[in-house]
Structure 1
Amino acid sequence: MGSTPQAAGKRLLGSELLAWRQQRLREGGRSADLDWLLDLGAGLRWTQLQRVWLDPCAPLRLDAELSELTRLWRLHLESHTPLQYLVGVCPWRQFSLAVSEAVLIPRQETEVLADLAIDLARSMPGRASGPLTWADLGTGSGCLALALAVAVPQARGLAVDCSGPALAQASSNLQRAGVGERVELQLGSWWEPVRHCWGLLDLVVSNPPYIPTAVLAQLDPAVREHEPILALDGGPDGLEAIRNLVSGATAALAPGGWLLLEHHHDQSDAVAELLGSAGLVEVICHHDLEGRRRFAQARRP
């Protein structure tokens, strides 16, 4: 009988791992997801897995027991729970973010939003009255706030969320990255928690809920059954939160300050119209990784 390791960090042969992988895939699921679980859940990087294929007789080590990985994989298949929630980690940009069902799983397209926000922040001249001030409204996991705090360390940051558990998750990620002191956390809805900074915000970025309520039932079960509805449901037309953000922008932004938003792939024209109607200028649309208009920015005159 072949030996099967039962303790984390114990050695096993590559052939044993490949046999285990084949057994799991016979139960269902995608090979890419299982390899992701091996990476984030057991410390086996993709390049290491390729070496296993080339030399299955070579020994290797995992950071988790195969029995635990099997449990997580079956739970993923049975309950549609995203692996990011099961492992508690989501890679995003250069970060390894802690995530739970209190927050959305950061998406790859939101990395583009982070790039746009960083470029805007870096392009702004310094102010005699103090450092550049940015805010992330609806921060969730804190991914955007973290990206800005790391990339623009001299700036003052604020991160807002109406969910206490989400704000705690953001705080944890910021603290783990060593930038917690650069970001002021505020509990509440959209502009209200940063009222003390109205008229001083040079850059406001937000990835608000923008899925129309009727569309929620059509989402993948992994999303609709596990990710927070509060962070998904944008109201009847998906624009409820975006209207709140746009309507408060002229009062809250500093003169010349920018508002930068993520929105649904078919909302670009409607969002641009809202921005223009609110008196904001220089409305610009940006595309996501698939070439769809997904982001909008506009400036207070």
Structure 2
Amino acid sequence: MSASRPFPSFSPHQALASPAPAATGQLILGSDLLAWRRQRLAEGGRAADLDWLLDLGAGLRWTQLQRVWLDPSSSVQLHACLGELAGHWRQHLECHTPLQYLVGVCPWREFSLVVSPAVLIPRQETEVLADLAFALAQALPSPAHRPLTWADLGTGSGCLALALAQALPRAQGLAVDCSSLALAQARVNLEGAGFLDRVKLHLGQWWEPLRPHWGGLDLVVSNPPYIPTAVLEGLEPVVREHEPRLALDGGADGLEAIRALVNGAWAALAPGGWLLLEHHHDQSDAVAELLLSSGLVEVTAHHDLEGRWRFAQARRPMPGHWPAGFESGGSLLP
């Protein structure tokens, strides 16, 4: 999650799949489209967001829009009517509704994710979390007598689960969320990508639904709620009033969910297994202290795309390599 980026940082030059063409659309002259665009921007908002709406809501690629600028006399086929798009734009301006919820889709990595107010809108910086997870997975030895097992705790839209399922096709994937609505959304996205057979979905709170797998999780990722409650109240309305509070509010200090994740890590991770977390930009030292105090080792911090400390990783030590003062259960010895 990010308190600073209410919309994914979307490059119009990315080749992303648009939603399937609607049953009705509109063939329009380029000059009329440009006039419509000027009218919408006169109402307010950012040009980049309006072009995003034309792209994901109507199938108008950035390259097509550039051709319209060069030749306004040309015609373009839209997958939605301009009246519908104008309605979305007004709702976005007047009610601060995220455009991703209005069109029901969000580009993330090479995926076009179905999203709704039941789930957090995937952010671009969370792609870094996926890349860090891939690097750790590649360095893990193959477990004996079982497939490598990964888990995504607090899966939401399922974006991280999709990325891991794609990168680790022979691994066993587990995705957990305490919201049945979010889990249903993740199921839609996993099924749409053809990965539902690679990932088992579990309803419940953090580690608890995975109890049968405790001691055998090789890689666990989580983008938990980490915004301090007081900070949450000051976020932009597009985030505060529309995205699920359950996925944002991390309690008084923002570390409530992270504590639960760290406290259960020793019991749930396989020996040598990794825990990889996203956190608020000012929580790096506090998260590292929590990881170290739990007995996890090789604690490492990583930057996000803007150079801020945003991610932390740590692993359960192998038998015989426990930190001084810890017993096998990860508790401090008296």
**TM-score normalized by structure 1?**
0.97
Aligned to 2:81: 65
The Cα shift of 1:193 comes to 0.4
* Aligned equivalent of 2:146, options 106, 111, 130: 130
- CA distance in 1: counterparts of 2:138 and 2:65, whole angstroms: 39
Aligned equivalents of 2:269, 2:143: Cα separation in 1: 14
- Give the aligned partner of residue 186 of structure 2: 170
Of 207, 210, 217, the residue aligned with 1:191 is: 207
Q: Which residue of 2 aligns with 1:256?
A: 272
User: Cα distance, 1:164 vs. partner?
Assistant: 0.3
1:226 aligns with 2:246: no
CA distance in 2, matches of 1:11, 1:49: 14
Where does 1:198-217 land on structure 2 (aligned, <5 Å)?
198-217=214-233
SS of the aligned residue for 1:121 comes to helix
Q: Secondary structure at the match of 2:233?
A: helix
CA distance in 1, matches of 2:126, 2:100: 16
Aligned positions, number: 295
Pairing 1:271–2:287 present? yes
Q: Which amino acid aligns with 1:78?
A: E
Tell me the distance in 2 between the aligned counterparts of 1:212 and 1:160: 23
Of 51, 58, 61, the residue aligned with 1:42 is 58
**Residues 206-229 of structure 1, C-alpha deviations (whole Å, 9 max, x = no match):** 000000011111101000000000
RMSD: 0.8
8 Å contact from structure 2 (residues 60, 78) kept in 1: yes
- Structure 1, unmatched stretches of 5+, are 1-6
**Aligned counterparts of 1:65 and 1:123: Cα–Cα separation in 2:** 50
The answer to whether the 8 A contact 2:26-2:82 is kept is no
- For residues 145 and 10 of structure 1, the distance between their equivalents in structure 2, rounded to whole angstroms, comes to 36
* Corresponding position of 1:10: 26
Could you tell me which of 107, 114, 134 is aligned with 1:91?
Answer: 107
Counterpart CA distance in 2 for 1:19 and 1:118 is 46
| Shift of residue 123, structure 1, vs aligned partner | 1.8
Q: Residue deviations 1:162-220, cap 9 Å, x none? A: 00000000000000000001001000000000001000000000000000011111101
Q: CA deviation at 1:8?
A: 3.5
The CA distance in 1 between the partners of 2:83 and 2:188, in whole Å, is 29
Match of 2:49 in 1: 33
Distance (Å, rounded) in 2 between the aligned partners of 1:245 and 1:175: 27
CA contact (8 A) 1:122 1:152 kept: no
Does the 8 Å contact 1:209/1:231 carry over to 2? yes
The whole-number CA distance in structure 2 between the counterparts of 1:200 and 1:188 is 19
Deviations 1:124-143 (A, max 9, x none): 12112211000000000000
Q: Whole-Å Cα distance in 1 between the matches of residues 25 and 246 of structure 2?
A: 39
Alpha-carbon distance, 1:118 to partner:
1.4
Flag the structure with higher helix content: 1
Supply the distance in 2 between the matched residues of 1:164 and 1:219 (Cα, whole angstroms): 26
- Structure-1 separation of matches of 2:60 and 2:180: 34
Match of 1:3 in 2: none
| CA–CA distance in structure 1, aligned partners of residues 167 and 89 of structure 2 | 36
1:289 is aligned with what amino acid? L
Is 2:187 the partner of 1:152? no
Contact 1:208–1:231 under 8 Å retained in 2: yes
Give the Cα separation in 1 of the matches to 2:45 and 2:136.
Answer: 41
Question: 1:142 — aligned with what?
Answer: 158
Alignment partner, residue 307 of structure 2:
291
Identity of matched residues, %: 77
Tell me by how many angstroms 1:60 deviates: 1.0
Rounded Cα–Cα distance in structure 2 between residues aligned with 1:252 and 1:294? 23
| Whole-angstrom CA distance in 2 between matches of 1:56 and 1:111 | 37
Aligned partners of 1:161, 1:10: CA distance in 2, in Å? Answer: 40
Gaps of 5+ in 2: 1-22, 318-334
CA distance in 2, matches of 1:63, 1:186: 36
Paired with 1:188 and 1:118, the residues of 2 have a C-alpha distance of 25
Cα pair 1:280 1:298 within 8 Å, conserved: yes
Summarize deviations over 1:82-102 as a string: whole Å, max 9, x none: 000000000000000000000
Greater CA drift, 122-131 or 259-268: 122-131
